Homo-oligomer: A and B are copies of this chain.
Amino acid sequence: MKSGSYPDRHRTLGALLRAPWRVLEGRVYGAMAERGFPEVRPAHGVVFRHIEADGSRVSDLADRAGMAKQSMAYLVSHLEEHGYLRVGPDPLDGRAKRVILTERGEAVLKAAHDLSRSIEAEWALAIGAGPMETLKRDLGRLWDYLEAEDHQS
């Protein structure tokens, strides 16, 4: 398995979830250079994954990613430098900065979704369309449960 995920001693639920995700992430970000985005690396996934359509504050991105604000600011500054993001003052709080995807940044997001969908299609061929469908259905149920639980707490 790419990303060396299989030496896990046991196939715990955590390992079963993490291993295919890491393969997927590795393939999606590994293909970015050939799609014309050579500066985008797996570490930048947390930015593209968590940024909102109308932009996000760096501190909110950091919270969502479970990272220090300084580490997020570093990733954001790299992506800004290469034209994937624009950073400006937050309209609601002049002291805060707001980050928004440029057209080039939006193109990365689209490429990531396209790549992800084609990998999913490949895996559906490998394990069968039925199992892929039940897999997504069961993961969706788990998602609903975790989201509801989070809103209660």
In the complex with contacts A7-B64, A9-B53, A145-B123, A150-B2 CB distance below 8 A: yes
Q: Which residue of B lies closest to A50 (CB)?
A: B7
Are B21 and A143 in contact (CB-based, < 8 A)? no
Any B CB within 8 A of the CB of A136: yes
Any B CB within 8 A of the CB of A131: yes
- Interface size on A (CB < 8 Å)? 62
- Which of B15, B23, B64, B142 makes the CB contact (< 8 A) with A135? B142
Q: Which residue of B lies closest to A8 (CB)?
A: B49
- Which of B49, B126, B134, B143 makes the CB contact (< 8 A) with A20? B143
Alpha-carbon distance A119/B49, docked complex (angstroms): 26
